[in-house]
Amino acid sequence: MKISLRKITLENLDDVVDLRLLDHQSKYLASNSYSIAEASLNTSLRTHAIYGDERVIGFVLYCTPDDGDDEPGTYEIWRLMIDAGFQGHGYGRQALELVLREICADETSRNIHICYKPDNEAAKRFYSSLGFEEAGIEPETGEMDAVVTPLRIRWSRPAGKA
């Protein structure tokens, strides 16, 4: 299955909103509808539908740097989800690598953060496999912050390879 990132449009909005997680995962992630609404109010947020061939199979939301940021060049991945029916096939990794390549295309990118619940061992292993290193618990959210620099990302394949 070929994984791609596409804009969220009126044509695919319902498909993105209807994506589902496994029951035990719902406590770890805000809903896609909430995330899309949040992005409509914040110009720093970017959303994408994750496609497997021509079918919506996931969703991603990330935050681009702002001029007034304490750490210029810092990106934050806020949401990444793959529909329950498509998990366990490596599609999440492929999608995250596409997001990371998009972020790294900005030559000013310096750090990429992602947060997850400290008890989410699957997320910890997954992000660590890509090179993210735990930086500590965020005091405001109680979530683990993990960070990677563009040069430390562990790609599964070189750019441009299928």
Q: Where are the domains of the chain?
A: 3-152
Model pLDDT, residue 28: 76
Phi, psi (degrees; rounded to nearest 5) at 144: -75, 130
CB contact burial 68-87 (16+ within 10 A = b; e otherwise) = eeeeebbbbbbbbbbbeebb
**CATH fold of 3-152:** Aminopeptidase (3.40.630)
Give the CA dihedral 77, 79, 85, 91, nearest 10 degrees. Answer: -10
Model pLDDT, residue 72: 84
Model pLDDT, residue 114: 97
Low-confidence ranges of the chain (pLDDT < 70): 158-162
Model pLDDT, residue 59: 98
Phi, psi (degrees; rounded to nearest 5) at 102: -60, -45
